[in-house]
A and B are shown apart, each in its own frame.
Chain A
Amino acid sequence: DAKTTQPPSMDCAEGRAANLPCNHSTISGNEYVYWYRQIHSQGPQYIIHGLKNNETNEMASLIITEDRKSSTLILPHATLRDTAVYYCIVRVAQGGSEKLVFGKGTKLTVNP
């Protein structure tokens, strides 16, 4: 079973920041937080991952709370093409199973 909890759906206005929360209260010390998204039944796309520090790349920012029990994915300027299902996944850094365990994710709808 997935170790994360996400809201089933969210809406965001185009051009505004989209903040997608994720709870992972049982996360272990050696587990990373990964984010993927799936646009309209395409293959999932990697977005970002982090351990405990905040991370930023060209797609998004990841904010992880100090106790690591929750995190937020931030799309700073959402566009219509960001409409997708966003999956938050926790997995071990090394030595564990390689598989990704997907939950139900958050369906983000970006409105014009």
Chain B
Amino acid sequence: DTGVSQDPRHKITKRGQNVTFRCDPISEHNRLYWYRQTLGQGPEFLTYFQNEAQLEKSRLLSDRFSAERPKGSFSTLEIQRTEQGDSAMYLCASSLGSQETQYFGPGTRLLVL
């Protein structure tokens, strides 16, 4: 499968714990995006990378959230000191460039107890 992959697919954690998600984009895609989706809502933009550079962050991305994309390949999204309000589906997408369609991964569903 040469699509966008995300790991893990599901994560259950206790409030206050740290979690890290991984996204592997389509191999030649230089842009990578993170979104968050809560039940009944469309995905909300969090941040995006052009190669290894993080170019924009949404106001939704609080100080407890950090994303990296070392070497411009895979990306990680870390949430520190998780809160129940962080429970959501975290989606990753990639595109070949700024004008290209975004292709989404299957998402990581996070449940914070």
- Does A associate with B in a complex? no
